[in-house]
């Protein structure tokens, strides 16, 4: 096993963890693990089990990097914004209302780190931990983590989780498992992937609104309050209305940009522009494409398949433009060199957020796992041209 000197020096703070966790599976000189297949190349780091780069073919035949991230792997743990770029938050992703949930009549209190709510399990979430590399081949990598009882406040019982990322013919596959080892505990996981299918290289705009977005099986979505917490109500988007991405394959992501309700559509008393919500995937045939994100500029189209019952869509309203596009594979030098508001979209296949507190949705069985029970998610993205 060999590490470059710079990698070892830069990793001093986390040296023990990094060295132990990559034993037998050395990354490249830049600290990233690379897997590839025809038409696709993906790179990862153990921190957060994070996808750092995803190269797919654009309409000019060039390989472009369509996810957000950084060249420098040591920036991930210290990034003050830490938007959970393409990592696995856990053991319970997204929000838990009022930092509370109950199992078998016992109430548990979780850390309120997002207003009145818990986000991504609080400040010891999985996306901030170094995972172990437990398998590696040319087209596949597995990361594993042991989450000890109460290591994130209010989540009891040990959980062991693994994510296997693999690539095949322009497709990126994600398989996540998590085993509850001791006692009943909530588990809800996702790959928190941020896309800009133009790699910030469209000279006309770095905003995401000219992408098209189609969710053919998702006319219903969860109503959310001003803190982006689901209220419990399930609403139906009328064709052409602000939250409609079901009625046509040609809807621009920003089709409702001029609607006065667009500003404030994701809450924060009007401060959140666009989308930060959950769309149900209903009555989709097995293995159907349930979401297509595409860009005319690059010509790239990304098709989602998942066994999950819905998807979180977040249009990067909280990117305030102070963060640089810290990738040599993205931006246009002087132009498009900041991650500005609404310049990306996070798409997260997962179970209903805060389903542990909404028994009326009937998700408890899918979100609470007792000893010996296993959480499984299988999701994939296939890339092609529009």
Residues noted as catalytic: 192, 348
DSSP letters, 324-369, are B---TTSSBTTBT-B--TTS-EEEEE-SPTTGGG-GGG--HHHHEE
Query: Could you say whether residue 123 binds ligand NAG (CB under 6 A)?
Result: yes
47 vs 221, which CB is nearer to ligand NAG?
47
Query: Could you say whether residue 150 binds ligand NAG (CB under 6 A)?
Result: yes
CB of 105 to ligand NAG, least distance (A): 17
197 vs 316, which CB is nearer to ligand NAG?
316
DSSP letters, 160-172, are EEEEEEEEETTEE
Q: Which residues of 149-168 are buried (b: 16+ CB within 10 A; e: fewer)?
A: eebbbbbbbbbebbbbbbbe
125 vs 161, which CB is nearer to ligand NAG?
125
Question: Residue 206 has which token pair?
Answer: 């770095």
CA distance 357 to 188: 13
CB of 14 to ligand NAG, least distance (A): 13
Query: Could you say whether residue 49 binds ligand NAG (CB under 6 A)?
Result: no
Bond prior to 54 in cis (omega within 30° of 0): no
96 vs 119, which CB is nearer to ligand NAG?
119
CB of 106 to ligand NAG, least distance (A): 11
CA distance 219 to 243: 8
Q: Could you say which of 14, 34, 134, 153 contacts ligand NAG (CB under 6 A)?
A: 153
Q: Indicate if the alpha-carbon torsion angle 221, 178, 102, 97 is positive or negative.
A: negative
Query: Could you say whether residue 305 binds ligand NAG (CB under 6 A)?
Result: no
Binding mask 83-122 for ligand NAG (x = CB under 6 A): ------------------------------x-----xx--
166 vs 180, which CB is nearer to ligand NAG?
180
Query: Could you say whether residue 14 binds ligand NAG (CB under 6 A)?
Result: no
CB of 235 to ligand NAG, least distance (A): 26
Query: Could you say whether residue 124 binds ligand NAG (CB under 6 A)?
Result: yes
The answer to whether the CB of 185 falls within 8 A of the CB of 371 is no
The answer to whether the CB of 300 falls within 8 A of the CB of 66 is yes
Q: Which residues of 274-284 are buried (b: 16+ CB within 10 A; e: fewer)?
A: bbbbbbbbeeb
Nearest Cα to Cα of residue 276 among 264, 266, 287, 291:
266
CB of 160 to ligand NAG, least distance (A): 19
Residues in the chain: 386
Query: Could you say whether residue 128 binds ligand NAG (CB under 6 A)?
Result: yes
CB of 326 to ligand NAG, least distance (A): 19
191 vs 256, which CB is nearer to ligand NAG?
191
Which residues of this protein are in contact with ligand NAG, per CB under 6 A? 113, 119-120, 123-125, 128, 150, 153
């Amino acid at each position: 096993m060999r590490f470059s000197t710079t990698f070892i020096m830069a990793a001093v703070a986390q040296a023990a963890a990094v060295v132990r966790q990559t034993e037998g599976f050395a990354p490249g000189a830049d600290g990233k693990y690379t897997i590839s297949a025809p038409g696709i190349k993906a790179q990862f780091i153990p921190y957060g089990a994070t996808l750092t780069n995803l190269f797919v073919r654009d309409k000019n035949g060039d390989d472009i990097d369509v996810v957000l991230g950084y060249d420098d792997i040591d920036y991930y743990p210290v990034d003050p914004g830490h938007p959970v770029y393409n990592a696995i938050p856990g053991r319970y992703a997204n929000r838990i209302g009022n930092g509370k949930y109950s199992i078998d009549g016992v109430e548990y209190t979780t850390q309120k780190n997002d207003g009145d709510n818990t986000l991504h399990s609080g400040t010891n979430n999985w996306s901030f931990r170094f995972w172990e590399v437990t398998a590696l081949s040319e087209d596949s990598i597995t990361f594993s983590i042991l989450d000890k009882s109460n290591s994130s406040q209010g989540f009891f019982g040990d959980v062991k989780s693994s994510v296997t990322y693999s690539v095949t013919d322009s497709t990126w596959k994600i398989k996540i498992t998590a085993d509850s080892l001791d006692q009943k505990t909530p588990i809800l996981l996702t790959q928190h992937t941020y896309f800009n299918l133009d790699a910030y290289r469209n000279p006309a705009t770095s905003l995401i609104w000219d992408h098209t977005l189609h969710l053919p099986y998702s006319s219903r979505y969860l109503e959310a309050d001003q803190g982006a917490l689901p209220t419990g109500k399930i609403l139906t988007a009328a064709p052409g209305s602000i939250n409609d991405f079901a009625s046509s394959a040609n809807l621009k992501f920003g089709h409702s940009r001029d609607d006065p309700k667009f500003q404030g559509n994701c809450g924060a008393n009007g401060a959140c522009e666009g989308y930060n919500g959950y769309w149900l995937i209903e009555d989709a045939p097995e293995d159907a494409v349930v979401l297509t994100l595409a860009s005319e500029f690059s010509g790239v189209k990304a098709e989602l398949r998942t066994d999950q019952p819905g998807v979180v869509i977040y249009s990067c309203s909280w990117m305030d433009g102070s963060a640089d596009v810290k990738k040599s594979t993205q931006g246009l030098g002087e132009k498009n060199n900041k991650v500005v508001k609404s310049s990306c979209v996070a798409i997260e296949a997962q179970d209903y957020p805060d389903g542990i507190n909404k028994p009326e949705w009937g998700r408890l069985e899918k979100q609470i796992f007792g000893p010996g029970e296993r959480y499984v998610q299988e999701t994939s993205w296939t890339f092609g041209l529009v």
